[in-house]
């Protein structure tokens, strides 16, 4: 039974969360001060588990973005942009320490607002957010230019300089890591930043703003503007005073951000959707492949851009694979994400619930068959059962469009070539996986799959020293990786006649 029979207020256990929610209207962080939106407007934030209102947030729009840009510009042109790397890194390390010190509280707040299980929230905060702050603090010293040995009578070199005012427009699926992934590289490279959290899940971004103030970070270096996409988000995308936008979200909005960037030709990086193939050969270690495939589409209720939502299984192994996967998926416990017994919480919003349940109907209408799940859970909360679709053809909408819920399509293939062709038959290219015990085949298929990350006999592994991002309509540019700073700096070539 998924739905909980009590209110949001009864779910809160952390004193820090109680204290945070005791002032129920959250403000914008501009120039290190908490301010109302210029318009005075606010909007509701809903707990997806109970559908109760959790709090309200200031509805920032163009006027507030202007103020944030002014603050960020002044901070950038002030000492921040020229601060030694080690000092910038120290703020990131203090921020990481503040997050770790408040882990239980942040995880509960994240879970209340987004619906992810407490265990997922803790892992995402520790590995995703704290890990990223450590990575960027440590690798800030690696920012460097080049000194080509071209001509003895010249000393030529290049410099990497911060771009200026950066903005991060982020989604609701993993709010804390998403905020940190935009803040940390921007600051490590000497930029200042404006963060626009998703309207569904702004609470932890606001709390991160409070923790940033505790680090003693100078005025205007990080600004947080809550609000809607059309409004705060579009004002950022169009703003002539913003030098770079990093966006994570839907491909549709990614396109609109790219179009809006043409005004001042701001730098844009986009991390967008996916329909990632998880390719399982008959010789694979099924004891690992099946539970990992389950996690690949059910972790965070399937709301992960790299989710493995097309499982391609070699025909000989197909029926047994489906049988085991169905049993495992049917055994997941759907419930209050704060309850350690729950494997899966609700979807993050009503909008997403409607979208995902709409796709369940689309799948059935297209002739696919759900071997488990296929329905929303009754009662309050945005709960959807984990769903395995078989009798799926790769041309069906459920195999082509990003559903962003706990829904997977299992599709048979014949041989290596068929697996690669079907795997690549998608407009996306964010991630892929291949399961086999044949070493040569593993590497051949890894090379041929058109995806920014390919996992061999694992899924979701994330190493910040390697780039993350998408081929095709899954994005533009990359995040992380040892050359991460190329996306957060301008390069200048200097020619010195000796």
The residues of the shown chain that bind ligand NAI, judged by CB under 6 A, are 169-171, 173, 196, 198-199, 228-230, 233-234, 237, 248-250, 253, 256-257, 271-273, 305, 352, 355, 402, 404
Give me the least distance between CB of 344 and ligand NAI, in Å please: 17
Residue 458, number of CB atoms within 10 A of its CB: 12
Give the contacts of 145 (CB within 8 A, at least 6 positions apart): 157, 158, 159, 160, 491, 492
Would you say 209 and 35 are in contact if contact means Cβ atoms under 8 Å apart? no
Pick the closer one to ligand NAI by CB: 4 or 57: 57
The CA-atom distances, in angstroms, between 257 and each of 158, 163, 266, 267, 331 are 30, 18, 10, 11, 41
Question: Shortest Cβ distance from residue 233 to ligand NAI (Å)?
Answer: 2
Nearer of residues 20 and 404 to ligand NAI, judged by Cβ? 404
**59 assigned to active site:** no
For 490, counting Cβ atoms within 10 Å of its Cβ (0-12 exposed, 13-18 middle, 19+ buried), the class is middle
> Would you state the torsion angle of the CA atoms of residues 450, 456, 460, 462, taken in this order, to the nearest 10 degrees?
-90
For residue 271, indicate whether it is catalytic.
yes
Q: Which residue, 94 or 239, is less far from ligand NAI as judged by CB?
A: 239
Closest distance between ligand NAI and the C-beta of residue 225, in Å? Answer: 10
Tokens of 149: 């040995």
Sequence-ordered list of residues with C-beta below 8 angstroms from that of 84, at least 6 positions apart, any chain: none
Report the alpha-carbon distance of residue 68 to residue 390 in Å, rounded.
49
The residues that bridge with 223 in the sheet, in sequence order, are 194
To ligand NAI, the closest distance from the beta carbon of 231 in angstroms equals: 8
- Residue 43 or 228: the one with the smaller Cβ distance to ligand NAI is 228
**Segments in 331-431 forming alpha helices (H):** 350-365, 397-400, 416-424
Q: How far is the CB of 253 from ligand NAI (least distance, A)?
A: 4
199, 305, 416, 479: which one is catalytic? 305
Output 253 or 268, the one with its CB closest to ligand NAI.
Answer: 253
Q: How far is the CB of 256 from ligand NAI (least distance, A)?
A: 5
Closest residue by beta carbon to ligand NAI: 229
Pair of tokens at residue 416? 């290596």
Question: Which pair of structure tokens corresponds to residue 11?
Answer: 């779910």
Separation of alpha carbons 361 and 389, rounded Å: 12
State in angstroms the smallest separation of the CB of 304 from ligand NAI.
Answer: 7
Task: Report d(CA 419, CA 433) in Å as an integer.
Answer: 11
Q: For ligand NAI, which is the closer residue by CB, 192 or 226? A: 226
- Neighbour tally for 333: CB within 10 Å: 12
Q: Which of 271, 385, 402, 416 is catalytic?
A: 271
- Specify burial of residue 422 (Cβ count, 10 A radius: 0-12, 13-18, 19+): buried
Active-site positions? 271, 305
């Amino acid at each position: 039974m998924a739905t909980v029979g009590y209110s949001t207020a009864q779910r809160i256990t952390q004193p820090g969360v109680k204290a945070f929610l005791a002032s129920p209207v959250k403000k914008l962080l501009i120039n290190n001060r908490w301010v109302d939106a210029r318009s005075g407007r606010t909007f509701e934030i809903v707990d997806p588990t109970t559908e109760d209102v959790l709090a309200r947030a200031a509805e920032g729009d163009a006027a507030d973005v202007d103020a944030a840009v002014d603050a960020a510009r002044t901070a950038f042109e002030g000492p921040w942009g020229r601060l030694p790397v080690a000092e910038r890194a120290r703020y990131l390390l203090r921020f990481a320490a503040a997050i770790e010190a408040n882990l239980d509280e942040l995880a509960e707040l994240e879970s209340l607002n987004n619906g992810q299980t407490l265990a997922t929230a803790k892992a995402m905060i520790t590995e995703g957010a704290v890990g990223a702050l450590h990575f960027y603090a440590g690798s800030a010293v690696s920012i460097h230019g080049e000194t080509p040995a071209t001509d003895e009578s010249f000393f030529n070199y290049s410099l990497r300089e911060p771009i200026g005012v950066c903005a991060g427009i982020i989604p609701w699926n993993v709010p804390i890591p998403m905020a940190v992934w935009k803040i940390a590289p921007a600051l490590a490279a000497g930029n200042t930043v404006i963060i626009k959290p998703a309207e569904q899940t702004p609470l932890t971004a606001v709390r991160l703003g409070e923790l940033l103030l505790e680090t003693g970070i100078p005025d205007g270096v990080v600004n947080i503007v809550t609000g809607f996409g059309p409004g705060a988000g579009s004002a950022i995308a169009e703003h002539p005073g913003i030098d770079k936008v990093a966006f994570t979200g839907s491909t549709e909005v990614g396109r609109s951000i790219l179009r809006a960037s043409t005004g001042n030709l701001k730098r844009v990086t986009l991390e967008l959707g996916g329909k990632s193939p998880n390719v399982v050969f008959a010789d694979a270690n099924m004891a690992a492949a099946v539970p990992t495939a389950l996690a690949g589409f059910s972790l965070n209720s399937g709301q992960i851009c790299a989710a493995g939502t097309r499982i391609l299984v070699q025909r000989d192994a197909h029926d047994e694979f489906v049988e085991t996967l169905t049993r495992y998926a049917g055994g997941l416990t759907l419930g209050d994400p704060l309850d350690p017994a729950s494997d899966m919480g609700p979807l993050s919003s009503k909008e997403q619930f409607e979208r995902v349940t709409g796709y369940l109907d689309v799948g059935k209408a297209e002739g696919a068959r759900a071997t488990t799940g296929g329905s929303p859970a009754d009662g309050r909360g945005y709960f959807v059962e984990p769903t395995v679709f078989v009798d799926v053809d790769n041309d069906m909408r459920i195999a082509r469009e990003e559903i962003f819920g706990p829904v997977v399509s299992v599709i048979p293939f014949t041989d290596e070539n068929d697996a690669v062709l079907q795997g690549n038959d998608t407009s996306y290219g964010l991630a892929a996986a291949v399961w086999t015990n044949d070493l040569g085949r593993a590497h051949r298929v890894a090379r041929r799959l058109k995806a920014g990350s390919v996992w061999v006999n694992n899924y979701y592994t994330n190493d910040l020293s390697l780039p993350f991002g998408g081929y095709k309509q899954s994005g533009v540019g990359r995040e992380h990786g040892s050359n991460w700073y190329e996306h957060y700096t301008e390069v200048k070539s200097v020619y010195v006649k000796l």
